[in-house]
Amino acid sequence: MSRCGSHGAVSAGRRDNKVAYAWVGNSIRQCPGQCAWPFHKPIYGPQMPPLVPPSGDVGADGMVINIATVLAGAVTNPFDGGYYQGHADASLEAVSACTGIFGKGAFPGYPGNVLKDKATGASYNAVGVNRRKFLLPAMWDPKTKSCKALV
């Protein structure tokens, strides 16, 4: 209940055999001002109006952001020895280094310039299968040493 999601590894059978896992909670029930932002009013900071979620469901779209964040960490740092920035005890991973950034010009309380669906007013920065729209977080680019958003 103290975080939106996490990842780690557990032993599976033999001691040297580890399996990575990821977990994401219900973002509308668990601290929506943090776990469902920018589709929900933030718990602190500038109180800008929330964005309209692409699916129309604040909780589901908040979970998409959290799944993307945790999945990127699980893939790039599955056993706590992969990619991260800073000290291992307080590391920032590929997406957690870019918290709250979804488009260019982002700053605390403002997710950045994202695309807007003309029919629904929903905010997004990625289009998937069957033209489904998503808002995905920026990732740290070690080459440019900056957060890269999709738009």
Q: Where are the domains of the chain?
A: 5-148
pTM for the full predicted model: 0.90
What's the first-to-final CA gap in the chain, in angstroms? 32
Q: Which H/E stretch holds residue 7?
A: strand 5-12
Tens-level pLDDT at each residue, the chain (151 residues): 678 999 999 988 877 788 999 999 999 998 999 999 999 999 888 888 999 999 999 999 999 999 999 999 999 888 877 777 777 777 788 898 999 999 999 998 899 999 999 999 999 999 999 999 999 999 998 889 899 999 8
Bridge partners (DSSP) listed for residue 113 = 104
What tokens does 126 get? Answer: 């990625």
Contact (CB, 8 A) for 6 and 70: yes
What tokens does 112 get? Answer: 């950045």
Neighbouring C-beta atoms of residue 31, cutoff 10 Å: 18
